[in-house]
Amino acid sequence: MLFIYLSLLLLFALLFKFITSDGDFTLMSKRHVKREEIEDKVVWITGASRGIGEVLAKQLASLGAKLILSSRNEAELERVKSQLTGKHAPGEVKILPLDLASGEESLKEVAEKAESFFSGAGVDYVIHNAAYERPVSGSAVWIAKLRIVENERNVEDKKRMTDLRCENAWSQVLKSAALDVDEESLKVSNHGIRHPDDGLATFNINVLGTISLTRVLAPSMLSRGRGHFVVMSSAAGKTPTPGQAVYSASKFALNGYFHSLRSEFIALNAGDSRGYTLKYVCLDLTNWNLEGGWANCAKKQKMLVSLVKWIGLLCQKGIKVTIVCPGPIETSNGFGSTTSGNKGSSQSRLSSERCAELTIIAATHGLKEVWISDQPVLAVLYLVQYMPTVGYWLMDKIGGNRLAAAAQKGNTYSLSLLFGKKKAA
């Protein structure tokens, strides 16, 4: 009987821990940042001009990191830099303007500049934080354009719309059904204005640009035998996300690429970037012949030395990949980086400060994938991962209700959606 009581007590304790948790169990078990993994390391943050990127910059600066800040808005980067404090901040913080949609050649030049900073020390961490919000239906696009134009009195000012104004307009756009996302809306830039070279903007930024930057930077990391890609993905890349189909698709693509890349890095870390090849692992030591001394088996000596070096290289840190999947996050400009929403809604969001803290904990402990969110999103992530039939049934139940709640500017993360109640703000 005592065993039953203790088991029930343990079960209730675990349930309470889960309900009150804001991250997956593995992440929660790593209680603190490993400062030694960050201090004096070169950390390059994309999308650092606001939101989670800005908060990450502040926390990493306080931990003694050498920072490189990137986004398209250089003025905002300078603002962020001026607010940083730490061992190498703000004086040594580098500003590096970056447009992920500029093409691989341009990204290669930017990556070379990043590698040249801090006396050519090279980049230790890349935090892929830059992201583009989901496309919306054509009618909603014109609403967004109208809101932007209404806020501008001067014609010249309209041509110089700041990113912040555009993002504020986009943050007020309703979630749209998957079939409502037409070709026109896919070709809208993040300024709400269509340009000929802005096709599939969500995938250009969230997927293709991020992959291209990784490709041009990875060779330098491999040559040094160290480096860490921290990918700010989304819960939308792990579960169905009604109203954000294209954005969700881009995050699923990002997760698939970087999980595959991590597996490939295991071979690349021990590959011929340092002259050590996998063939020496197949060396047959059972028939080792030492007759005549070491002088007569120089070839086998060489193979054995190579084997030892290869094993040593495998034991080094090598290239790591950490994928971070946050749920709804409250950022400094009033909307989440992973799921945008309306300021007027009553939905609960995790603070960007807590999200950044958990992200750094995950990176410094070398975790492969982490989930960061309050309930009920965290529970949905577990259901879809470990009980997919139940998880997908649940998402099918709330899909239409979530769109309706968004149309009413209500809580799109409420449990009441399961019962068809659209809670208005």
pLDDT score for 301: 54
Distances (CA, A) of 9 to 12, 168, 217, 368: 5, 47, 50, 31
Give the closest residue to 142 by CA, choosing from 176, 96, 94, 117.
Answer: 176
pLDDT score for 10: 85
Task: pLDDT tens for the chain, 425 residues: list them.
Answer: 778 888 888 888 888 888 888 899 999 999 899 999 999 999 999 999 999 999 999 999 999 999 999 999 999 999 999 999 999 999 999 999 999 988 899 999 999 999 999 998 999 999 999 987 644 444 344 344 444 444 444 444 444 444 444 444 334 344 666 666 666 655 554 444 443 333 367 788 889 999 999 999 999 998 888 999 999 999 999 998 887 888 889 999 999 999 999 988 766 555 444 433 333 233 333 343 434 444 455 555 555 455 445 444 433 457 899 999 999 988 765 333 344 444 444 456 899 999 999 999 999 999 999 999 998 899 999 999 999 999 898 888 887 777 777 666 677 776 677 766 544 34
198-231 pLDDT, tens digit each: 336 778 888 999 999 999 999 999 888 899 999 9
Q: What value, to the nearest 5°, has the Cα angle with vertex 137 and ends 132 and 142? A: 90
pLDDT score for 170: 39
Query: Which architecture does CATH list for 2-135+197-275+311-383?
Result: 3-Layer(aba) Sandwich (3.40)
Written as six digits, the tokens of 244 are 């954000």
pLDDT score for 6: 84
DSSP secondary structure letter of residue 101: T
351-366 pLDDT, tens digit each: 999 999 999 999 999 9
CA distance 356 to 55: 6
Written as six digits, the tokens of 204 are 């250009």
**What is the domain partition of the chain in residue ranges?**
2-135+197-275+311-383
Strands of 287-414, DSSP E: 318-326, 329-330, 350-351, 369-372
How would you classify the pairing of strands 94-95 and 42-46?
unpaired
For the chain, counts of helices (H) and of strands (E): 16, 9
Q: Is the separation of the CB atoms in 325 and 381 below 8 Å?
A: yes
